[in-house]
Structure 1
């Protein structure tokens, strides 16, 4: 019997996804919860497990296609129970409604069974040919298979993926494939003489040669707006034109915090914790929130209410190959400095690898953006939708500064806080900002706020 699998609801209000890659093909035998596809939502790349055990009968969507929740994506041929037969142990009744797949990383663990196995064919020769045969080329009109970071790299280097042969599993285009293609298309050495072998007349004035197309490249490139960029643009427009933004700045001497971080690196107990400035700022923010709870709120227009959060789900703005993401650390106020550092490291790694789950990209209550990592001194960040405050950390640099009545070279940074003026007054934003700055200027002050 045929079972149709429809794109499931991936949560967080997401209504559509793009098929990034199929991990199975018609004729493959799959097991329950085996990985069958990768789909890219507006927030993350998500793995889809199989909701059935059986044989892939048909793939209804091609890679690169945007599919709405509820649309059929794949059909399976599954064994029908014999009439009147008792179900086996653990088997579902024959009239049980169709199951929705459990996303990998949520709920029941997926059973990985390695590469999908084709239906058995007679003869060892056929089996050997399947092992050594090259991966099939994409069908006409089908987008070459690649991951979002690889597609972003191709756009940066001006490489057309349709002209690249993938060397990865089942023909997947890898980063190395894109870099090799870009290198092979590089222009010839500028010292080469294009007329050296033409026997040119030295008395003849040659017209200026037109640069070949491979050197100048296209004058413009158009790409569809989709996934993270589409979601980010809509969210920023909604935030900018809904919440009345205001921003305050404060420049502070953070030399004591830098000295504290250096001391912790030499401490055996914290040597492996890799505590950096962002972890200290995150801890200072959590302590400051407790003193000014108005910064940890949300404006609920539909309900006509102000929601006060009694926990801190700390969003961290992360620049990734797929665009801007703001994954969160739940209950950050409960974590110590070392645990915050570990959470930040894992959060950043997952975001850049495109492995952040949709659930981790929602539910933030207050955020930090580290613009200093790009060498920027200060900025006016736009609030993530639904949050009252975002704190921007600028670049830390040595500057002449007043210290104990004299001018000294100190480590100085500018902090900026953007806030929703419906929820937070200027005085409250200033108190929150000075509390964060006070802890960075004198980390021992944190003991008095615990």
Structure 2
């Protein structure tokens, strides 16, 4: 039997590290090629790691909750049976070589991860020195032993429980087949508020702690939250932001939505106002291409995209994420609405892939779902504009020469003033509002 070491692979997008969220196997388990062995979280997404080998788990080289660098060994797997391939005395060297190649061919390898650990090390070149075992073997063993009775929960729920310091083994699951849900974790937390999770160290200006209460809670910033924080700081202090607002009557779009929802074509799709806002945005880009561009700092050039990968800012248990709909400008309203539903659901379940987060060209953030009227959003790095969609409210409004109760909303547009001047930004925002004020224009131009 040969023991193969599997190193944390390059997960793409230039990411150099990932946090081990949970092991899905334990020492002694027999696993198959491509079987999911662990859940890890990068700065952009939660990723399931498949095994590049079939065999028996010999050792887990990392502890849940630790951050690992790309190339660090994470698991050892006993692979194949080399005894039957052992050469006998006086065997033909050519026959021995053939048998050696046969042994190599018998080792199942996952496409993209390379072959054995030794070969991978030669290709990868110099790496930082890595320890051969966790710093705390007892802790690692305990982690593995707990895995034998691992509570059923999805990665975002595990991440939430970890943030709140809750042991999932103590939580009763109410989901399908006893799966622990987000509500179960929050309910458990509410029922145990008398047990403080983190107590602050008293300082000169700290009030005395009251029994049963916490005075501070410290949350490590890593993964998606750290990436988002870094990106927003970089964007805010690199791109000269300008934000403009427009408030208008969106009653006819609301009425159109009601009619479309009742139609057979949208019977199986959740149609929201955001779908029509998204459609109006991609149509308006045809006459305002500067809003779909980016600044090439190295070449000192403006690069205009002739495709639209529409980003949708989504609040998830892991923090703010902006997955995007590829080639949104080629989709009809039905397919665009369907893509929005799937994108949002996937993000909230923590299953957004790094590919879904890469390559965005322009973004929409919907603050209206929180009852907020408007905002001044910060650009995603590498994009020229972000559109903020506010709440739709019934308000007194001038309509056909009289004051009437109408549905009114506000759109705000932040843009990079290096790429977009005031006239271009104003025209783009006005075009979107005009199509939503009179959706027949949107239908005609689609």
Give the TM-score, by structure 1 length.
0.79
Aligned to 2:429, the other structure's residue is in SS state helix
Separation in 2, partners of 1:180, 1:222: 21
Match of 1:5 in 2: 6
How far residue 150 of structure 1 moved from its aligned partner, in angstroms, is: 2.9
Larger displacement relative to structure 2 (405-414 or 266-275):
266-275
Aligned to 1:290, the other structure's residue is in SS state coil
Match of 1:245 in 2: 241
Instruction: Output the aligned Cα RMSD.
Output: 3.3
Q: Which residue of 204, 213, 237 corresponds with 2:211? A: 213
1:361 aligned onto 2:354? no
Unaligned runs of 5+ in 2: 88-94, 115-140, 196-207
Aligned to 1:273, the other structure's residue is in SS state coil
CA distance 1:448–1:328, shift in 2 (3 Å): same
Equivalences for residues 136-215 of structure 1 within 5 A: 138=143, 149-150=156-157, 153-154=160-161, 159-162=164-167, 165=170, 175=182, 178-179=185-186, 181-185=188-192, 213-214=211-212
Preserved contact between residue 33 and residue 108 of structure 2 (Cα < 8 Å): no
CA distance 1:420–1:91, shift in 2 (3 Å): farther
Separation in 2, partners of 1:353, 1:274: 18
Q: Which residue of 396, 400, 405 corresponds with 1:400? A: 396
Preserved contact between residue 53 and residue 110 of structure 2 (Cα < 8 Å): no
CA distance 1:87–1:274, shift in 2 (3 Å): farther
Match of 1:377 in 2: 373
Larger displacement relative to structure 2 (341-350 or 219-228):
219-228
Separation in 2, partners of 1:377, 1:335: 28
Q: Which residue of 418, 425, 428 corresponds with 2:421? A: 425
Preserved contact between residue 164 and residue 177 of structure 1 (Cα < 8 Å): no
Equivalences for residues 69-108 of structure 1 within 5 A: 69-80=70-81, 82=85, 84=95, 93=105, 100-101=112-113
Match of 2:41 in 1: 40
Match of 1:110 in 2: none
Separation in 1, partners of 2:325, 2:34: 28
Separation in 1, partners of 2:41, 2:162: 18
Separation in 1, partners of 2:215, 2:146: 24
Match of 2:137 in 1: none
Match of 1:52 in 2: 53
CA deviations over 1:32-90 (Å, ceiling 9, x no partner): 001100001111110000000111111111000101111111111111552548689x9
How far residue 303 of structure 1 moved from its aligned partner, in angstroms, is: 2.5
Separation in 2, partners of 1:416, 1:360: 25
Match of 2:62 in 1: 61
Count of aligned residue pairs for this structure pair: 390
Match of 2:19 in 1: 18
Separation in 2, partners of 1:330, 1:262: 27
How far residue 229 of structure 1 moved from its aligned partner, in angstroms, is: 0.8
Larger displacement relative to structure 2 (261-270 or 251-260):
261-270
Match of 2:136 in 1: none
Match of 2:305 in 1: 309
How far residue 161 of structure 1 moved from its aligned partner, in angstroms, is: 2.1
Preserved contact between residue 53 and residue 108 of structure 2 (Cα < 8 Å): no
Preserved contact between residue 164 and residue 173 of structure 1 (Cα < 8 Å): no
Match of 2:91 in 1: none
Equivalences for residues 346-357 of structure 1 within 5 A: 346-357=342-353
Separation in 2, partners of 1:211, 1:224: 22
Match of 2:410 in 1: 414
How far residue 431 of structure 1 moved from its aligned partner, in angstroms, is: 0.9
Separation in 1, partners of 2:218, 2:262: 51
Higher helix proportion (structure 1 or 2): 2
How far residue 273 of structure 1 moved from its aligned partner, in angstroms, is: 2.6
1:270 aligned onto 2:266? yes
How far residue 100 of structure 1 moved from its aligned partner, in angstroms, is: 4.2
How far residue 294 of structure 1 moved from its aligned partner, in angstroms, is: 0.4
CA deviations over 1:215-237 (Å, ceiling 9, x no partner): x2x11111211111100000000
How far residue 265 of structure 1 moved from its aligned partner, in angstroms, is: 1.3
CA distance 1:34–1:212, shift in 2 (3 Å): same
CA deviations over 1:367-415 (Å, ceiling 9, x no partner): 0000111111111000000000000000000111111111111100000
Separation in 1, partners of 2:325, 2:334: 14
Separation in 2, partners of 1:346, 1:77: 39
How far residue 147 of structure 1 moved from its aligned partner, in angstroms, is: 5.6
How far residue 166 of structure 1 moved from its aligned partner, in angstroms, is: 5.8
How far residue 444 of structure 1 moved from its aligned partner, in angstroms, is: 0.7
Aligned to 1:223, the other structure's residue is in SS state coil
Preserved contact between residue 167 and residue 174 of structure 1 (Cα < 8 Å): no
